[in-house]
Amino acid sequence: MDMLRTSSLVPLRKKQKVIQESHSLSKHEIKFSEVVLFIMERKMGRSRRTFLMDLGRRKGFRIENELRDSVTHVVAENNSCSEVLAWLQTKTLGDFSRLHLLNISWFTDCMEAGKPIKIENKHRLTQRPCCGSGPSPRPQQTNASAVVKISQYACQRRTTLQNYNGIFTDAFEILAENYEFNANKGPCLAFRRAASVLKSLPFTIVRMNDVQGLPCLGDEIKGVIEEIIEDGKSSKVVDVLNDEKYKSFKLLTSIFGVGLKTSEKWFEMGFQTLEYIKADKSLKLTKMQTAGLLYYEDLITPVSKAEAEAISLVVKDTVWTFLPDALVTLAGGFRRGKKMGHDVDLLITCPRPGEERKVLHNIIKQWKKQDLLIYYDIIESTLDEAELPSRRVDAFDHFQKSFAIFKLYKQRLDASISEEYQESDKMEAKNWKAIRIDLVIIPFDQYAYGLLGWTGSRQFERDLRRYANHEKRMMLDNHALYDKTKGIFLKAISEEDIFAHLGLEYLEPWERNA
């Protein structure tokens, strides 16, 4: 956009050159150089054409801004073959009989497949009836969502990290977050459910017909989708990103130990930046918040998979000192296949009942001696007084756990990672990085349920519990599964057992990124 604005200040000849060269400046890798596309703006509109061109380039297609001899495929929308031919005759082009003249359905099918597909008759432009000719069949428009039946429950959808609809789901997440900041739970959940549905789709949405029949898409959500398709962005999202309250809450909630209530209080007091908070000595901070501010830059820096695995090894070495037969599992987003995360979740159990109860205090005691902890808080188990399973979909569990800030020394990482740290001025000043970790102690007989719950994602777990309640008359949480019809608790030694109890096809952890 900056390039186009600047081009208005230069002579016409230079302006045309800038437009022609914009393709060569594309940041996207060309994967299918043998296919060169030109998308007609006629009857489509500039904003939609720009959106489709950008989408195709992100998929690896070569798309020209202007019609030139290198073009092999011309894509049009709401145009007949005769109309496109008439338009081509006005262009100073060589033999255009070699061109494939295609309707938009071929392009959308290519976007769904992620590669150029075979051209079928339904993809070719057709003649409109004229001069006594018989009626030509209307090009068949394929609705990708009609091909795949999408469940309203994330636990019945395979959702990998490959998101074909990031432009929409990113917008939904921002709007959901804003509703959450304003304590408007209904729309917040609605946008998160919609984002979850779109993340699971095996195709890219390029027109409104593609969302027909999809669950969890209300009128407001469809309005956002339509605006993004037409304009490439949502005006609602732009308004949110420019809103002072949203920006302040986004900053404040990124501080370790600061939740929505504290953010609301600080915002009303005028504390909208870190500088204000650090400068006001009268503001009483908790130990967690003090640590969160002191090591803010480290804690907002994403945690890599290598860092998470390095911490996991430290935890295993420490735990096995006290419980040689203990099981330590890296959970959360890293178990779902993510390469980066915000913190590290580690689950600890032991096959000997009751032996796991003292291990957390022993871990903390040893780490304090080794100067591995910046902050820690131990929350004792409340299992003895808990009513299981909880009736609330978003209920917290009752496990003993610790929320801590761990010192990860760079010598614990492999040489390649250490070199990356050495490039940072900050890491030259200190030889460790502050990383948030959660240690969760789980009784062995509840481990399958705890592992399922702590693996996530959040929306997957929420829908799994809704499914159990609404479809199976069961109650599920991180501790147990209760069959309300039979009046019994269902035992499980693995996640597969839980899926089987619920009559669900088992989904691998990397298929739960809802």
Residues 319 and 309: their CA atoms lie apart, in Å, by 15
Helix 185-199 crosses helix 458-472 at what angle (to 10 degrees)? 100
Place of tokens 């009303």: 268
User: How far lies 73's CA from each of 34, 104, 435, in Å?
Assistant: 10, 11, 51
Asked whether the beta carbons of 481 and 309 are under 8 A apart, the reply is no
In three-state secondary structure terms, 61 is strand
Burial class of residue 9 in the structure, from the number of CB atoms within 10 Å of its CB (0-12 exposed, 13-18 middle, 19+ buried): exposed
- Token pair recorded at residue 198: 């779109």
Q: Is 438 a catalytic residue?
A: yes
Type of residue found at 79: N
Distance from C-alpha of 147 to C-alpha of 141, rounded to nearest angstrom:
12
Which amino acid, residue 488? I
Locate 90 and state its tokens.
């006005």
- Name the token pair of 308: 């998470």
Residue 437 near residue 344 (C-beta atoms within 8 A)? yes
Single-letter amino acid code for the residue at 196:
S
CA-CA distance, 15 to 501, in Å (whole number)?
A: 65
Answer yes or no: 109 catalytic.
no
Which of 210, 343, 397, 477 is flagged as catalytic? 343
243 as an active site residue: the answer is no
Catalytic residue among 438, 445, 483, 497: 438
DSSP for residue 124: B
If you search the block for the tokens 């915002």, which residue do you land on?
267
DSSP label at 139? P
**Going by C-beta distance under 8 Å and a sequence separation of 6 or more, which residues neighbour residue 206?**
51, 52, 55, 107, 108, 111, 229
Helix axis angle for 219-231 and 166-181, nearest 10°, is: 130
Distance CA 209, CA 205 (A): 9
* Helix or strand holding residue 13 (H, E): helix 12-21
Would you say the C-alpha torsion 184, 185, 186, 187 has a positive or negative sign? positive
Instruction: Point out the catalytic residue in the list 109, 210, 298, 345.
Output: 345
Centre a 10 Å sphere on the Cβ of residue 259 and count the other Cβ atoms it contains. Answer: 10
- Rounded CA-CA distance 137/124 in Å is 11
Do β-strands 303-304 and 32-39 pair in parallel, antiparallel, or remain unpaired?
A: unpaired
End-to-end CA distance of the chain: 33
Is there a contact between 432 and 409 (Cβ–Cβ < 8 Å)?
A: yes
Residue at token pair 């495929």: 73
Other C-beta atoms lying within 10 Å of the C-beta of residue 13: 7
Active site residues: 343, 345, 438
